[in-house]
Amino acid sequence: MRTNNCSDSTNIPKSNRLESMKKYMSKFLLPLSLRHVVILFICCAAGVLTNSSSASEKWTDISSSLLNGLTNSGLRLDWPGGCSGVIVNRTNGDVTIKVVSRGLWRSSDKGKTWQRIDENKISGRDETGWATSVDQNAPSRLASFSLDGSAGWTTDGTNWQAFTSLGRNWDYGSVDWAAPVPKVIIAAKHETTPPGEVYFTFSPNWFGCYAWDPENNILYASAMGNPVYRFDL
């Protein structure tokens, strides 16, 4: 059984979150060195959220103005509403978020203004922090593995192509970005029957998606169904 509740992390002791992360990543058989890197990053982010006396003053909601504009224009967001998923272009600081059922939106001014970038090909939500994949060597190339909506990708940063839908679609995926036109994609289908070989066990009450902008020293955090937040380090 897989459960997912990506809400605020401040109510869970750091020791419990750390143990949960260790158990979670061991299910993926990640190399030990990579597990240590990921655990260190999550613990640092959790420490910023819980230990800094000024943290509540430095976290900035960057998505509610976009969401309010969409709903005020008559658009309805599917369950659970809000946003799910966030990535950052490490070369220029552009931040991209997924609005539940309303696709991928990008900001080039740290969340002040937004523009939809997916040619209306993407919908649904990001079920995990691995649902939107970015080519780190060419960060304009993206793939979005949506749950309860349409998934797709762009290999040139401009033109989008939808993936073939399979039921409720995907929990997460990965792309071999080494090729100019990638040939290999691996994805985990949601709640297969009979069950597949990959299982998820999520700890409740912690942010599911992080993205770091090294150009401007900004941390972004996304919780499914909630706003996306910016933290100026």
What predicted TM-score, i.e. pTM, was given to this entire model?
0.62
Nearest to 58 by CA among 222, 220, 223: 220
Contact present, 132 and 172 (Cβ < 8 Å): no
Residue 29: how many CB atoms within 10 A of its CB? 7
Cα 229 from Cα 221, distance rounded (Å) = 5
User: What does the pLDDT profile of the chain (233 residues) look like in tens digits?
Assistant: 333 333 344 444 444 544 554 454 444 444 444 444 444 455 555 554 444 445 556 889 999 999 999 999 999 999 988 998 899 999 999 999 999 999 999 999 999 999 999 999 999 998 887 888 899 999 999 999 988 999 999 998 899 999 888 888 888 788 888 888 888 787 777 776 554 433 332 333 333 566 778 788 887 876 666 778 888 87
- Rounded to whole angstroms, how far apart are CA atoms 133 and 122? 13
Cβ–Cβ < 8 Å for 130, 154:
no
d(CA 129, CA 32): 20
- What does the radius of gyration of the chain's CA atoms come to, in whole angstroms? 17
Task: Report the alpha-carbon angle 233-135-77, nearest 5.
Answer: 75
Closest-CA residue to 46 (of 203, 172, 174): 203
CB–CB of 144/153 below 8 Å?
Answer: yes
Chain centre distance of CA 114: 17
